[in-house]
Amino acid sequence: MKKYNIGILGATGAVGREMLKVLEERSFPVGEIRLLASERSVGKLVKFKGEDIAIKLADFGAFEGLDFVLGAASNAVAKKFAPDIVKAGAVFIDNSSAFRMCDDVPLVVPEINAEDAKKNKGIIANPNCSTIITLVAVNAINKLSNIKGMVASTYQATSGAGAQGPIELEEQMKAIVCGGEIKNEVFQYQIAENLIPQIGSFNDDGYTTEEMKMQNEGRKILHLPELKVTCTCVRVPVVRSHSISVTVLTEKELTVDEVKNAIANEKGCKLYDDVENKIYPMPLVTSDQDLVFVGRIRKDLVFDNAITLWCCGDQVRKGAATNAIQIAEALI
């Protein structure tokens, strides 16, 4: 089997570390693995397939000889190095939001639009984590009848804010129990025992940048340019795995049974819906794996042509690292 040289840009962050783990788990045919990060991480050793790999400096010229570069860094870093990556002949699969809405950059969830990845000009964008989880959950519905709109609320784990998010949650919980000082640096407010209804900055219309990603990215991924989405994004005191409540409006009326059957047979999904036995998706059930669990499926009581459901998925894996690696798998 042919092997591919892989670079991870931002290898020391939460998503970068998870990418390394997923590459090994999925037996991706890796030749060389090149771990790239900022100067402060250079020389640190990271395990991959039982070997110690030293972190190298992310710099111009660091991408020569690579087939794929998996981006797990900021927008600024992605924009800085993208031209050099493309010039080196590698395909840049980027997890930042820097290129998602560029017309000539495919935005890909492999279970939905893997063919779009093959139209790349050297850069492929990984969608927002909540967008990935939600669209994997509703893709089967879209196959039954085109989706016209969605009303969604996301319940996003602290790890979605980076490696320091869960640490801040844990430190605040300890402070509450032990009577210490509660400090918040990662989040706008205390997250322990609290919900924060803001992720991203506010636009003029009152929606946040995070909330608009569901509509804007959803249109591109589903090839539904008229899709309308109203979304509210909330940070919750959960370590890992995002949850989304979504009402899906379709062109024709669907039954609960046909929706359940479609989701049960859809790639990337697990139907997890048995309310009589209290079976429904939860963060603790869906962490550290790659499927999107879907449950609480029911007819909406406001719109005739609508289904309401609840879904959960690991945003570090399927919402970021695994999705990027699946894109690379689709290309090889």
Q: Which residues are catalytic?
A: 129, 242
CA 88, 61, 33, 131 torsion-angle sign = negative
Distance CA 230, CA 26 (A): 36
Q: Count other C-beta atoms under 10 Å from residue 291's C-beta.
A: 18
Distance CA 176, CA 158 (A): 17
Distance CA 327, CA 313 (A): 18
Q: Is 122 helix (H, G, I), strand (E, B) or coil?
A: coil
Identify the bridge partners of residue 295 per DSSP, sorted by sequence position: 310
At 45, the amino acid letter reads L
Distance CA 332, CA 325 (A): 11
Which residues have a Cβ under 8 Å from the Cβ of 180 and sit 6 or more positions away?
174
Q: Nearest CA to 134 among 311, 316, 320?
A: 311
Q: Is 153 helix (H, G, I), strand (E, B) or coil?
A: strand
